[in-house]
Amino acid sequence: MITLFHAPMSRSTTIVTLLEEMGITDRVAVRIIDIPRMDGSGAPDPANPHPERKAPALVHDGHVITERGAIILHLTSLFPGTGMAPAVGTPEWGSFATWLAWYQGVLEPVLIHRFADLSHPVLERTFRGPSEATARLRAALEKGPWLMGDRYSAADLLVHSPYAWFNDATPDDGLIRDWVERCKARPARLRVLEADAALMKTREPA
Ligand SMILES: N[C@@H](CCC(=O)N[C@@H](CS)C(=O)NCC(=O)O)C(=O)O
């Protein structure tokens, strides 16, 4: 039994999109939860098993899996051959895992530091900064057209996600902007966004 705890229009939207892209919506139950939102609406949901009541959380036979990179690794390993990741144990899988870990451990912190207008030599030394992140994306996309080469994968789905939400954060680089637009245009993403928008309406006061 696998259940995804999803707050519409949040980071868990990435995982609902992954379910669509992998064609496994019948294998994972999706439970809608509330979270506190930046605009002051929402609240921590007692039904949410995430230790900090964040979204997403995936529960698989009582095990709570958090962090999108880990959830993506778990689902793509559990349901191989669904087209969103290389086969586990291949060299390509190592590159795939690198993109997911780099996203969680480097790119998201770098973007958050910039958003919060934070800079410090320790941050720079630990994470580097936006120009190094841009160079890394550009180097992959020069080979492209996707991060892993000729196939769209869950690496593209995760890594493009902050740029899809925050257009201003997208580097002013044609190659990267084109890639973000191609990721944004995926039919699975558009379907999930439409469903999320409908769910958001149901939480608005009448
Ligand atoms: N690093 C986590 C971040 C999860 C996260 O921060 N989720 C936000 C939604 S976009 C949340 O649940 N916020 C509610 C809160 O901070 O209480 C991931 O990528 O899964």
Paired tokens of 116: 């919060």
Mean pLDDT computed over 95-103:
98
Distances (CA, A) of 43 to 37, 49, 72, 183, 196: 8, 14, 26, 31, 18
Predicted TM-score of the model (pTM): 0.97
CA of 105 to the centre of ligand 1 (A): 14
Residue showing tokens 């559990």: 78
Distance from C-alpha of 167 to C-alpha of 3, rounded to nearest angstrom: 31
For ligand 1, whether the C-beta of 13 sits within 6 Å is: no
CA of 87 to the centre of ligand 1 (A): 28
Give the model's confidence band at 203: pLDDT under 50 very low, under 70 low, under 90 confident, else very high.
confident
pLDDT at position 205, please?
62
List pLDDT tens digits, range 3-40. Answer: 999 999 999 999 999 999 999 999 999 999 999 999 99
CA of 11 to the centre of ligand 1 (A): 6
Mean pLDDT computed over 121-129:
96
53: left (phi over 0), alpha (psi -120 to 50) or beta: left
